[in-house]
């Protein structure tokens, strides 16, 4: 401990001989990147695509992927903010109802003669308000998010159904309905993928490369410790719920245009698909763990599997069974792998020599 004299405040240059030096990582780069839950999902996705291309007739065509993207875009979109919400240890079950409400908002306003662009804006504002209501009840009143969003799931759906009643609004400007379905010529890639990619980049940076994101992970692992470190726990959650609301509203607008139909029951039950995909993508429901690339792969995996099986004339019930089993298997397998690794280490453990940080 001869170095104790060098203990100075960090304002002093960092170059002075420290007492110890540290390895940055305990395992190799290869292990850190490839032996992860996210990579497992991505690998599985690749395998499913390859197998399906070879064995399922009509699968390996661009049209498969353009349909796939058109169909899964709402889930892809909502999965982004949902991932962040779940990493903080909360959950939002009201997303599909918010899609319905946003859809109905666009429908009623255009029906009443408003310009559709204004209707879009109003729908997004409705999304912000709905998200803020969730956020308010959860962070300010202090209620559990599962309970609150079960309530708003009913409320937002109820408002949507109440507003439109039996009617469905189907008259939308062709310009907009075409955009929702447009593809980049020849490639078959739908245009809606552009806003998704932009949002995906924004959310990935927000989650993985900002101090806000660091706070999100800390909240999920220990919100008390996060609060003691100056993380705005409540504010962060509030923002995330608002983001979820507005992205859900955006997905609702897309849904309306894609199907050219605004109805109160649009997208019913989509929340479970979103959550299933997020969990499949390796996000821990207890919070604190997860990454966006895994989530996107998770959504696509469910989507690709579904379209391959449909093409292979597998009925929708069997597809549901497979989706459910996949979800269970994926989480069980991670804990099984962890268990197996532990066993292996335990057996080999005694022979290893002490590897710890070298004293300076």
Partner 1 sequence: ATTSSTPAASGAATGGSGNYAITFVPKNLGNAYFDASDKGGAAAITEFGGKYSEVGPATASPDAQVSFINTLTQQQVGGIVISANDPKAIGDSLNEARAAGIKVVTFDSDTDPSYRDIFINQASPEGIAKSQVDQIASQIGDTGEIAILSASANATNQNAWIDLMKADLAKDHPNIKLDEVVYGDDDDQTSFDKTAALLQSHPDLKGIISPTTVGIAAAARYLSTSSSKGKVALTGLGTPNQMRAYIADGTVTSFALWNPADLGYLAAYADKALIDGTITGKSGDKFTAGKLGSFTVGDKGTVLLGDPTVFNKANIDQFNF
Partner 2 sequence: MTTSTRATAPAPLPGRPRGTNAVTETLGRFVRARETGILLALLIVILVTTIKNPTFLFSGDGWRDLLLTPSILVLVAIGQAVVIITRSVDLSVGSVLGLSAFLTGKVFVSFPGMPIIAVFLIGLIFGGVLGLVNGVLVAFARVPALVITLGTLYAYRGINVVWAGSGRINASDLPKEFLALGTGQFLSIPFLAIIALVVLIAAGWFMKNIRGGRELYAIGSDPSAANLYGLKVTRRIIFAFVFSGALAGLAGVLYAARYGTVDSQAGTGFELDAVGAAVIGGVAIVGGSGTVWGAAIGAILLLTINRALPILGVPDFWQQAVVGILIIGAIVLDRVLALRQSRRLIKERDASHV
Partner 3 sequence: MAITPDSSVPAALELRGVSKAFGAVVALTSANLRVDLNSIHALVGENGAGKSTLVKIVAGLYHRDAGDFLLRGESVDFSSTAESKAAGIAVIYQEPTLFPDLSVTENIFMGRQPTNRFGRIDRKAMKVEALRLFERLAVRIDPDRPAEGLSIADQQIIEIAKAISLDARVLIMDEPTAALSGVEVDRLFAVARSLRDEGRALVFISHRFDEVFSLCDTITVMRDGQYISTDPISEVTVDEIVRRMVGRDVTELFPKQEAAIGDVVLSVEGLTQPGVFTDISFTVRSGEIVGLAGLVGAGRSEVVRAVFGVDPYAAGRVIMSGTAVPKNSPSQAMRLGLALVPEDRRKQGLVLESSVARNATMAIRRSLSKLGLIDSHVENKAAAIWSSRLEVKTNALDAEVGTLSGGNQQKVVLAKWLATNPRLLIIDEPTRGIDVGTKAEVHRLLSQLAGEGMAILMISSELPEVLGVADRVLVMREGRLTAEISRTEATAESVMFAATHSQEHAA
Residue 184's beta-bridge partner residues?
189
Residue 10 contact partner, candidates partner 3, partner 2, partner 1, none, CB within 5 to 8 A by sort of partner: partner 3
Cβ of 293: how many Cβ atoms within 10 Å? Answer: 17
> Which residue, 174 or 346, is less far from partner 3 as judged by CB?
346
**Distance of alpha carbon 191 from alpha carbon 168, whole angstroms:** 26
Which range, of 35-43, 187-195, 215-223, 270-278, touches partner 2 by CB under 8 A? 270-278
**Distance of alpha carbon 334 from alpha carbon 37, whole angstroms:** 7
With binding defined as CB under 8 A, does residue 209 bind partner 2?
A: no
Q: Out of 226, 239, 253, 309, which residue is the one contacting partner 3 (CB under 8 A)? A: 226
With binding defined as CB under 8 A, does residue 317 bind partner 1?
A: yes
CB 260 → partner 1: shortest distance, Å?
Answer: 5
With binding defined as CB under 8 A, does residue 336 bind partner 2?
A: yes
**Distance of alpha carbon 298 from alpha carbon 11, whole angstroms:** 45
With binding defined as CB under 8 A, does residue 157 bind partner 1?
A: no
Q: Which helix (H) or strand (E) holds 40?
A: helix 37-55
Among 208, 214, 180, which residue's Cα sits nearest to residue 194?
180
Q: Which helix (H) or strand (E) holds 37?
A: helix 37-55
Q: Is the dihedral of CA 216, 96, 138, 284 positive or negative?
A: negative
With binding defined as CB under 8 A, does residue 260 bind partner 2?
A: no
Helix 95-111 and helix 233-259: axis angle, to 10°?
50
Residues that bind partner 2 (CB under 8 A): 93, 137, 141-144, 146-148, 150-159, 161-162, 165, 264, 272, 275-276, 279, 284-286, 315-328, 331-332, 334-336
Footprint of partner 3 (CB under 8 A) = 1, 3-4, 6-11, 14, 18-26, 205, 209-211, 213-215, 217-218, 221-222, 224-232, 288, 345-346, 349-350, 352-357, 360
């Amino acid at each position: 401990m001869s170095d104790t004299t060098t203990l100075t405040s960090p304002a002093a240059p960092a170059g002075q001989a420290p007492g110890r030096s540290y390895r940055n990582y305990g395992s190799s780069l290869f292990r850190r990147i490839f032996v992860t839950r996210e990579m497992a999902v991505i690998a599985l996705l690749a395998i499913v695509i390859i197998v399906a291309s070879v064995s399922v007739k009509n699968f390996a065509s661009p049209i498969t992927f353009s349909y796939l993207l058109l169909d899964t875009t709402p889930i892809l979109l909502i999965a982004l903010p949902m991932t962040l919400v779940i990493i903080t240890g909360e959950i939002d079950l009201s997303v599909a109802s918010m899609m319905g409400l946003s859809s109905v908002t666009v429908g009623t306003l255009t029906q009443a003669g408003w310009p559709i662009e204004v209707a879009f804006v109003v729908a997004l504002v409705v999304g912000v308000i709905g998200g803020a209501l969730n956020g308010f009840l959860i962070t300010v009143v202090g209620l559990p998010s599962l309970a609150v969003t079960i309530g708003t799931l009913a409320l937002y759906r109820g408002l949507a159904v109440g507003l439109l009643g039996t009617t469905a609004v189907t008259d939308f400007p062709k310009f907009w309905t075409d955009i929702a379905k447009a593809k980049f010529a020849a490639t078959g890639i739908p245009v809606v993928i552009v806003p998704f990619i932009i949002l995906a980049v924004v959310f990935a940076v927000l989650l993985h490369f900002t101090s806000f994101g660091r706070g999100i992970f800390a909240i999920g692992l220990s919100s008390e410790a996060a609060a003691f470190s100056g993380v705005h726990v409540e504010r962060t959650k509030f923002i995330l719920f608002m983001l979820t609301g507005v992205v859900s509203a955006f997905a609702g607008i897309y849904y309306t245009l894609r199907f050219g139909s605004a109805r109160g029951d649009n997208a019913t039950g989509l929340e479970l698909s979103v959550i299933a995909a997020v969990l499949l993508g390796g996000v821990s429901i207890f919070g604190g763990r997860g990454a966006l690339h895994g989530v996107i792969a998770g959504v696509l995996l469910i989507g690709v599997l579904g379209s391959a099986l449909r093409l292979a004339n597998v009925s929708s019930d069997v597809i549901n069974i497979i989706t459910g089993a996949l979800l269970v298997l994926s989480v069980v397998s991670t804990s099984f792998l962890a268990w197996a690794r532990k066993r292996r280490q335990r057996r080999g453990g005694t022979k290893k020599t002490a590897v710890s940080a070298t004293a300076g």
